[in-house]
A and B are shown apart, each in its own frame.
Chain A
């Protein structure tokens, strides 16, 4: 190469080509380039949409997000009342918090300027401190990109056609892999525990299942529920309504996971071995319990663990109350219930079967014999329809029908059954009738979506070929010459919105009378209590109002020695509420007697 290279000297002058061209410069701060539509800037949190699950806080690998109380958000069921506060001295703007937010309330905005002279000013609450951020949202998660697993692991079930052939259990239960997969969807926020009447330790046992430790899960479950397998099969599972994942996807199958865990303890003995409860030494105190339903059994079990001598008086031949006699066996097999009751008995609970209080033994005797009494008497009677011709042969209460079937009795229902009502009892009666080969129609006053029964049950009934006639109000049962049910006459109803904002009311349409043939009619419009066993002298103290006992928050009636729980006390009238009553009563009795 020569000393002077002409080409190499002139070529760089290409830079002169740029002379006079418009510069690329963005003359900030006079002009500013807008951030991209997907820019990951500062946070924004929609405070009303946020449910305070804290998933953002746990995913943050920088520990930048705290959950704090902020004014105006006190929390309610399904909302912890906490909101994320971001430490921008930690945040790395990765937006993982956005990806895992189950409601999608948390997002990032186009705003990125955060310059301050005060290092303590980088702690701030998105949404509260930048309400204008709502207009600038840029990086957000959708159902497609969410890192929550929104789809539930499907529960294997028998086919509809198979089901109606027998009383075999419809739901087959998760296998191990399915249970682990389902459990691993949980984000462990614990919002569910608040709505559970019994406040079961839901995230803990789900996490134990996800970690592959079923025994621990069983132990955690039995901490405050002695009938978990029953709950795992038939619980009304209000927990699933508030599941954080349900805000975008399908709720965790909390009920099925409990069922899976408890079914790993195959027999009562194995359950005893796994749970290995600590039983306190007998303290010489005695407690009498009326009714071996969920509330009575719960109180009995935990009192027995606390060293009390517990005796239950049960009018029927088997324990379980409404879960034994009200729930069909294809939902809750008798073996399953027996297993749990055997386990409870193995702790030392004594049950006197076929002993009806008020007939075989008087309430007064029990009252005097024990240091405390718990009444879990339930609702043994059912409401009747109150229409003409209800006294016909073949007209019955669905609840009684289920009781008789579950007791092993035969009931003649013919081949055309009409069930009136929309609750779980109605569906159960309908599905049971299907299993006896009848053609079943459900007549319900309101629309299908208004039915109080579980949607899963309604779907199951439809799969099995049950017809549902919504907006039908029965007005008369026609009899044939033998006094047997021949047909049911009903009026079509239209839904009239309630001006006060309540749920719409069905109003019969005049002249829309329709008649359907039937060989049996079942009323499933509600149950009621029977308190005739209470002697007169107790009436002053043990008050009954609108068909239910009046108790305080400790389940205590006006008589300090007498406690009550279950359907005969609470309005929700489901098994888990009854268990919660029993558990509360147990604690109160323990407190009272050990004082």
Chain B
């Protein structure tokens, strides 16, 4: 008879294995990076082989792909989308501009450092990242999930106040519902 701790561990492993093989990506092209998503998903690179496919609504999606820069206006929508997503949920920062502003580092309308506002699991560098890079980003995410390190949702919950303060700094007019996550 196994104790609870061990059985939990086995459950976790099975859960992570399952999660790793069904990564549903929310169909929300937030920036120019969205242009390499169709090639990734279609016949040449066929991401569905890896269990990566599109999901129409946040409630069904596992991964929020931040495809590049986020303008302040999109940021607001992205926060809402992220909060609507069900746990487990992951964020992939796609392209240089999610890391340190990219070419828009001096623009008045784009955020520069994504992880100040959302917990990011994996960054894929490039401008534009090639489909191969996108796929290896997903592979990295799968690895992270399998190792049980992809706990962005928990991190977000734990540090909600910090994230909120950062988000509110750039979104002055905060009219947001609280979602039941």
Mark A residues whose CB is within 8 Å of B: 23-29, 32-33, 35, 61-63, 87-93, 112-119, 122
Given contacts A25-B49, A90-B102, A112-B126, 15 further A-B contacts (CB under 8 A): A25-B44, A27-B49, A28-B136, A33-B132, A62-B102, A62-B105, A90-B103, A92-B102, A92-B103, A112-B133, A114-B126, A116-B140, A117-B123, A117-B149, A122-B96
Residue of A26, A32, A115, A116 with most chain B CB atoms under a 10 A cut-off: A115
Contacts of B127 in A (CB 8 A): 91-93
User: In the assembly, what is the distance between CA of A247 and CA of B169, in Å?
Assistant: 50
Contact B100 A115 (CB under 8 A): no
In angstroms, how far is the closest chain B Cβ from the Cβ of A32? 6
Contact B132 A90 (CB under 8 A): no
- Nearest 10 CB-CB pairs, A to B? A89-B100, A89-B99, A114-B125, A92-B127, A92-B103, A25-B46, A62-B103, A115-B137, A88-B125, A115-B140
| B115 part of interface (Cβ distance < 8 Å) | yes
Give the A-B contact count at a CB cut-off of 8 A: 102
In angstroms, how far is the closest chain B Cβ from the Cβ of A59? 13
Of residues 53 through 111 on chain B, the ones whose CB sits less than 8 Å from some CB of chain A are 93, 96-103, 105-106
In angstroms, how far is the closest chain B Cβ from the Cβ of A587? 42
Mark B residues whose CB is within 8 Å of A: 43-46, 49, 93, 96-103, 105-106, 113-115, 120-127, 129-133, 135-137, 139-140, 144, 149
In angstroms, how far is the closest chain A Cβ from the Cβ of B41? 12
In angstroms, how far is the closest chain B Cβ from the Cβ of A555? 48
Contact A24 B136 (CB under 8 A): no
Contacts of B133 in A (CB 8 A): 112-115
Contact B135 A90 (CB under 8 A): no
Contacts of B135 in A (CB 8 A): 28-29
Contact A117 B121 (CB under 8 A): yes
User: In the assembly, what is the distance between CA of A122 and CA of B45, in Å?
Assistant: 26
In angstroms, how far is the closest chain B Cβ from the Cβ of A1? 31
Contact A26 B140 (CB under 8 A): no
User: In the assembly, what is the distance between CA of A426 and CA of B115, in Å?
Assistant: 71
Contact B124 A115 (CB under 8 A): yes
User: In the assembly, what is the distance between CA of A93 and CA of B126, in Å?
Assistant: 7
Contact B122 A115 (CB under 8 A): yes
Main secondary structure of the interface of A (DSSP, over half): loop
In angstroms, how far is the closest chain B Cβ from the Cβ of A26? 6
Contacts of A29 in B (CB 8 A): 135-136, 139
Contacts of B97 in A (CB 8 A): 89
29 A-B contact pairs sorted by A residue (CB < 8 Å): A24-B43, A24-B44, A25-B43, A25-B45, A25-B46, A26-B44, A27-B46, A28-B132, A29-B135, A32-B132, A35-B130, A62-B102, A62-B103, A88-B125, A89-B97, A90-B99, A90-B103, A91-B96, A91-B102, A113-B133, A113-B136, A115-B122, A115-B124, A115-B133, A115-B136, A116-B122, A117-B144, A119-B120, A122-B96
Q: B101 contacts which of A33, A90, A115, A117 (Cβ < 8 Å)?
A: A90
User: In the assembly, what is the distance between CA of A35 and CA of B101, in Å?
Assistant: 26
In angstroms, how far is the closest chain A Cβ from the Cβ of B45? 6
Contacts of B125 in A (CB 8 A): 88-89, 114-116, 122
Contact B136 A92 (CB under 8 A): no
Contacts of B96 in A (CB 8 A): 88-92, 122
In angstroms, how far is the closest chain B Cβ from the Cβ of A56? 16
Contacts of B123 in A (CB 8 A): 115-119, 122
- CB closest chain-B residue, reference A60: B103
- CB closest chain-A residue, reference B43: A24
Contacts of A113 in B (CB 8 A): 132-133, 136
Contacts of B106 in A (CB 8 A): 63
- CB closest chain-B residue, reference A88: B125
In angstroms, how far is the closest chain A Cβ from the Cβ of B150? 9
Contacts of A93 in B (CB 8 A): 126-127
In angstroms, how far is the closest chain A Cβ from the Cβ of B147? 11
Contacts of A122 in B (CB 8 A): 96, 99-100, 123, 125
User: In the assembly, what is the distance between CA of A119 and CA of B92, in Å?
Assistant: 11
- CB closest chain-A residue, reference B44: A24
Contacts of B124 in A (CB 8 A): 114-115
User: In the assembly, what is the distance between CA of A90 and CA of B127, in Å?
Assistant: 9
In angstroms, how far is the closest chain B Cβ from the Cβ of A111? 10
- CB closest chain-B residue, reference A114: B125
User: In the assembly, what is the distance between CA of A114 and CA of B125, in Å?
Assistant: 5
In angstroms, how far is the closest chain A Cβ from the Cβ of B1? 37
User: In the assembly, what is the distance between CA of A277 and CA of B49, in Å?
Assistant: 76
User: In the assembly, what is the distance between CA of A63 and CA of B93, in Å?
Assistant: 20
Contacts of B121 in A (CB 8 A): 117
Contacts of B101 in A (CB 8 A): 89-90
Contact B103 A61 (CB under 8 A): yes
Residue of B100, B131, B140, B149 with most chain A CB atoms under a 10 A cut-off: B100
Contact B100 A87 (CB under 8 A): yes
User: In the assembly, what is the distance between CA of A88 and CA of B137, in Å?
Assistant: 16
Contacts of B132 in A (CB 8 A): 28, 32-33, 112-113
